[in-house]
Structure 1
Amino acid sequence: MIAQAPAPTRDLLSRFESLGDENRLRILTLLDRNEFTVSELVSVLQLPQSTVSRHLRVLADDGWVRRRQEGKTRYYRMDGELESGARELWRLAEGSLAGARWIRDDAERAESVLAERRGRAAAFFSESAAEWDTLRDDLFGSDARFAPLFGLFDPEWTVGDLGAGTGTLANMIAPFVTRVVAVDRSPEMLAAAAVRLGERDNVDIREGELESLPIDDDALDLAVLMLVLHFALDPGRVLAEAARALAPGGRLLVLDMRAHERDEYRETMGHLWPGFTEDQMRDWTRLAGLEAYHHIPLAPEPEASGPALFAATARKTV
């Protein structure tokens, strides 16, 4: 009785047999460089769709290619996780094809197919440029514009969202750091924040004043004051409290209004300060024991009706 070969050897032999057809070699050469649909392969190879589909089925059964579904469209690509024996077998096969007559023709037609695909995307952006920002916000939400920047945060950080309001910022930051401490003076705002942050087990919601934060000394790696400083009776004291809560080397980030003359905001919105100048902010942060102050005036967005903003950063002395 003849013993059967071990499964890995039998699989490798099957893979070897599947390389014994020139059209399958052409398909693999293309799929090793890019992914294609069946119709795109038909265009490149100049073969009937039934032929291309049959060869793809053989290659898929023998583990050479993978497919992914995108809506009703299937994309094929050489399996990027071939075991070492199969990968070496493909290198040998590929090396023997250097002089094949079809290599250049297939490559040229493949580039035309890919250029057409890129052209469809380019045409979309050409037609949609004027509405792209609105369309992107409709599709993904306005947070998608800057949320990836939170990936630059150290995942070990504890971040203070000072003047957290309804928890919008804390909710965005929480997935990227170890802990967020969200502080606000308004019980109503914090109740709304608790609803928003209900599934965030690394957000600590605390009621308190910005001038006397319910946070221990040296507890924060980053303190954020986003559009809240103009509500403070004593902005200098708020910045000093933020500095106290920062660990040595910790960072302060402030986003607020530049100085303006819209006095009506005092009555209609409860603002206590008509924005801030760079000199004011620089002096307050220096007195708070912060260094390396950096002040960045932000370009106003065309649709924004409020005063222009600034962003400011500073660091607690190590």
Structure 2
Amino acid sequence: MTTPRLPIHDRMAELADPTRSRLLAALDRHELTVGELASALQLPQSTVSRHLRILADQGWIASRAEGASRWYRRQPQLDAGMLALWGLVRDAFAATPAALQDAARVDAVLAARRTVTQTFFATASAEWDALRAELFGVRADLLASLALLDPSLVVGDLGCGTGTLSAALAPHVSKVYAVDASPAMLATAAGRVATFDNVDVAEGTLEALPLGDHVLDVAVMMLVLHHVADPVRAFREVHRVLRPGGRLLLVDMRPHTHERYHETMGHVWLGFAAETLTTWLEDTGFVSVRYAPLPVDPAATGPALFTCTAIMMPAPALVMA
């Protein structure tokens, strides 16, 4: 009677070749290219490619393309039988001189990768900021940091202008209300955020916001307060639309002497000092006011900026309720 051949027999045959065991051991912890494997195992690339093809056909390894290269790794989702068999082979192979030498050479391959990066930065550090801006844009790091926001937040972009900030916030939060008093600005903003279904654009002034009570978790006033005729009234409105414990983020100009801004850009105020803002905010129900000057951009021609944050303190009636 013929003894049936079990699937495990085929699996054992696939790993019976020492070269395939060496390759799988190298790929067990690292993702490597054919060239890197050939270097680490000191084998011809044709030999490496042939055995990789067998391992890939049988589901032992996975690969992905990146540019002109193909990267290989051990299949992360081996079935239980394959995983158990590989564990036995790996444990028996791990302490052999060949395995120890392969591991050392794989480490050398990884060190060579780091050397390439370190060499680049050793010569490019002086130009890196400009190069990064050229490749990815000057706001890439700031835009990426918005992913730290709680995705459940409802944010008001108050004085949204052309909607740049609203568009940046929209992918990372639950809802954005973009409010501005200028129909021309709002038309541009509406076009910019048209692809987002979680942005509402509305016309209104900061002194009379077109929003209900306690609808916002965060209110942002980005370079708009210097246009507001009555900042205290605007802060009362922001307090009204924020939920208890909600936050205000204000960005504007520090005190300056550019008188021409009154005529050329319609500015009402020539910047704001920390003491003035703190008084206004505390008088309108905000606490934990924090004013911080921003670093000056050498390429900027306007006044220096600051950030000011504050927390909405509920009115006494709300506390009792």
TM-score, normalised relative to structure 2: 0.93
1:94 to 90, 93, 98: 90
Q: CA deviation at 1:152?
A: 2.1
Q: CA deviation at 1:104?
A: 2.1
Tell me the distance in 1 between the aligned counterparts of 2:267 and 2:4.
84
2:150 to 127, 150, 154: 154
What residue number does 1:33 align with?
29
What residue number does 1:183 align with?
179
**Higher mean C-alpha deviation, range 186-195 or range 74-83:** 74-83
What residue number does 1:54 align with?
50
In structure 2, the CA distance between the partners of 1:209 and 1:93, relative to structure 1 (3 Å rule), is same
- How do 1:233-244 residues align onto structure 2 when only pairs under 5 Å count? 233-244=229-240
- How do 1:1-318 residues align onto structure 2 when only pairs under 5 Å count? 10=7, 12-318=8-314
Q: CA deviation at 1:184?
A: 0.3
- 3-state SS of 1:146 partner: helix
The aligned amino acid for 1:147 is L
CA contact (8 A) 1:45 1:106 kept: yes
Q: CA deviation at 1:13?
A: 4.1
Q: CA deviation at 1:151?
A: 1.8
Give 5+ residue unaligned stretches, structure 2: 315-321
CA contact (8 A) 2:94 2:100 kept: no
Tell me the distance in 1 between the aligned counterparts of 2:61 and 2:228.
62
Q: CA deviation at 1:219?
A: 0.6
Tell me the distance in 2 between the aligned counterparts of 1:81 and 1:52.
22
The aligned amino acid for 2:288 is A
- 3-state SS of 2:65 partner: strand
In structure 2, the CA distance between the partners of 1:25 and 1:3, relative to structure 1 (3 Å rule), is closer
Q: CA deviation at 1:3?
A: 11
Number of residues paired by the alignment? 314
The aligned amino acid for 2:120 is F
The aligned amino acid for 2:179 is V
Tell me the distance in 2 between the aligned counterparts of 1:212 and 1:307.
28
Q: CA-to-partner distance for each residue in 1:111-144, whole Å, 9 max, x for gaps? A: 2211111121222223322222222222222331
Identity %: 48
The aligned amino acid for 1:200 is F
- 3-state SS of 1:160 partner: strand
Tell me the distance in 2 between the aligned counterparts of 1:3 and 1:185.
85
In structure 2, the CA distance between the partners of 1:88 and 1:214, relative to structure 1 (3 Å rule), is same
- 3-state SS of 2:139 partner: helix
Give 5+ residue unaligned stretches, structure 1: none
**Higher mean C-alpha deviation, range 56-65 or range 296-305:** 296-305
Q: CA deviation at 1:105?
A: 1.4
- 3-state SS of 1:96 partner: helix
Tell me the distance in 2 between the aligned counterparts of 1:266 and 1:127.
47
Q: CA deviation at 1:258?
A: 1.1
Q: CA deviation at 1:235?
A: 1.7
The aligned amino acid for 2:122 is S
Tell me the distance in 1 between the aligned counterparts of 2:13 and 2:138.
53
Tell me the distance in 2 between the aligned counterparts of 1:275 and 1:4.
87
Tell me the distance in 1 between the aligned counterparts of 2:95 and 2:230.
78
